[in-house]
């Protein structure tokens, strides 16, 4: 079974053992992007560090985890066009039934929470990436975009900020976290 490497960025509360014993942890922000769940960054450790610098003001811990890559068990809004059509159709369905002013407040998380209430939502996780989340050149992340044509705006982001939101802690056989940053908390790090 193929595995997906994931990273969870957390505020550094000097609790690496608790993180390894009890993590991953659910996101409890009221404005979660993909609804309620356990949020981890997909593949790119650099993105987890970026999140720590920006949203944890530099005081952060990163734990590494993995999950099974069972493609029909997660709603993939990054790489599965059928899932993107499903999402788009749901947005159109919501637009038909909601008054215009109420639809104007629609977010990705609200659409996903709506989808979860249907009989056809049988996913254990959601995978999504936003556009223009990270600046074109983050001094510590490095260059993460290249244009398709010189002097034109369209670009490809090759280190995108892709998130997994797991519905449950055991979704897709999500593993526990192993702290890898800061290095003094990593028991495998050789000084």
148 inside domain: yes
What percent of the chain is modeled with pLDDT above 90? 70
How would you class 79 by CB atoms within 10 Å of its CB: exposed for 0-12, middle for 13-18, buried for 19 or more? exposed
47 inside domain: yes
Asked if the model's pLDDT at residue 72 lies above 90, the reply is yes
101 inside domain: no
Domain count, the chain: 1
102 inside domain: no
Buried b (16+ CB within 10 A) or exposed e, 35-71: bbbbbbbbebbbbbbbbbbeeeeeebbbbbbbbbeee
pLDDT digits (tens, 9 = 90+) for 99-149: 989 889 999 999 999 999 988 899 999 999 987 766 555 555 556 777 789
Range of the domain at 49: 3-76+122-185
109 inside domain: no
Looking at residue 153, its pLDDT comes to 84
112 inside domain: no
pLDDT digits (tens, 9 = 90+) for 146-167: 778 999 888 777 788 999 999 9
Q: Is the pTM of this model over 0.95?
A: no
Looking at residue 134, its pLDDT comes to 66
pLDDT band at 95 (very low <50, low <70, confident <90, very high): very high
């Amino acid at each position: 079974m193929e595995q997906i490497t994931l990273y969870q960025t957390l505020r550094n509360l000097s609790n690496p053992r608790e993180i390894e014993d009890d993590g991953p942890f659910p996101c409890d922000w009221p404005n979660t992007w993909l609804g309620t769940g356990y949020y981890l960054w997909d593949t790119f450790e650099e993105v987890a560090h970026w999140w720590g610098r920006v949203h944890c003001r530099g005081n952060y811990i990163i734990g590494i985890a993995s999950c099974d890559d069972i493609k029909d068990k997660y709603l993939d809004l990054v790489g599965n066009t059928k899932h993107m059509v499903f999402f788009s159709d749901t947005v159109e369905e919501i637009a038909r039934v909601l008054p215009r002013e109420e639809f104007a407040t629609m977010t990705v998380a609200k659409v996903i929470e709506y989808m979860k209430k249907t009989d056809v939502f049988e996913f254990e996780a959601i995978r999504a990436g936003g556009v223009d989340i990270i600046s074109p050149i983050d001094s510590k992340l490095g260059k993460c975009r290249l244009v398709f044509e010189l002097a034109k705006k369209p670009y490809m982001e090759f280190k995108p900020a892709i998130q997994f939101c797991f519905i449950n802690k055991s979704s897709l056989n999500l593993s526990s976290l192993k702290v890898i940053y800061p290095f003094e908390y990593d028991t495998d790090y050789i000084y």
